[in-house]
């Protein structure tokens, strides 16, 4: 389960609904160049597979899907875990690659302020779902027999 964002060349419009039907996005550039731009702000990101990157931080991670083509048309980001600085890192990635992102939870363009709220809402939902599937602790024989 992850908080997801898709980044590419989007037009300078206020909302996703305002993207013209005939808009043709430009590629972000050669995949190797996009990787170099990401590594410029995140030198510890692992791109041993050039189509998939992984950044691990304390309490959270981001997977990057750049695709298999030599020319990179967009980047999908999958944020897992939780941390106060995860959205700041996403913001730095978008600036580094020169792209705009769509928060796939809200279907709105990424802004740092809105993403912090969206990420928090997603974490609350994730915690609720996980809690529903965590088995109750097993009671010992004596507590079952004596109701304690």
DSSP secondary structure letters along 109-124: E--HHHHHHHHHHHHH
Statement: residue 60 has pLDDT above 80 = yes
| DSSP code for 136 | P
Statement: residue 134 has pLDDT above 90 = no
Domain at 3-146: CATH code: 3.30.310
CA angle 12/18/20 to nearest 5° reads: 85
Statement: residue 132 has pLDDT above 90 = no
pTM of the shown model: 0.86
By the 8 A CB rule, do 28 and 37 touch? Answer: no
Domain residue limits, the chain: 3-146
Helix%, strand%, coil% for the chain, nearest 5: 35, 25, 35
Model confidence over 65-75: pLDDT tens digits?
999 999 999 99
Provide the mean pLDDT of the chain.
93
Maximum Cα–Cα distance across the chain: 72
């Amino acid at each position: 389960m992850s908080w997801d964002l898709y980044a590419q060349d989007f037009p300078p419009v206020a909302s996703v609904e305002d993207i013209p039907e005939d808009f043709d996005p430009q590629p972000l550039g050669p995949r190797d160049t996009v990787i170099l731009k990401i590594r410029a702000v995140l030198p510890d990101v692992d791109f041993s597979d050039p189509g998939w990157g992984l950044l691990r931080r304390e309490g959270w991670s981001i997977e990057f899907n750049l695709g298999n083509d030599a020319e990179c048309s967009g980047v999908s980001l999958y944020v897992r875990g939780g941390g106060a600085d995860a959205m700041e890192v996403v913001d730095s990635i978008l600036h580094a690659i020169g792209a705009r992102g769509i928060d796939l939870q809200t279907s709105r363009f990424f802004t740092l302020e809105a993403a912090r709220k969206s990420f928090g809402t997603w974490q609350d939902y994730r915690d609720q779902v996980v809690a529903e599937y965590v088995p109750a602790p097993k009671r010992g024989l004596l507590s079952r027999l004596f109701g304690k």
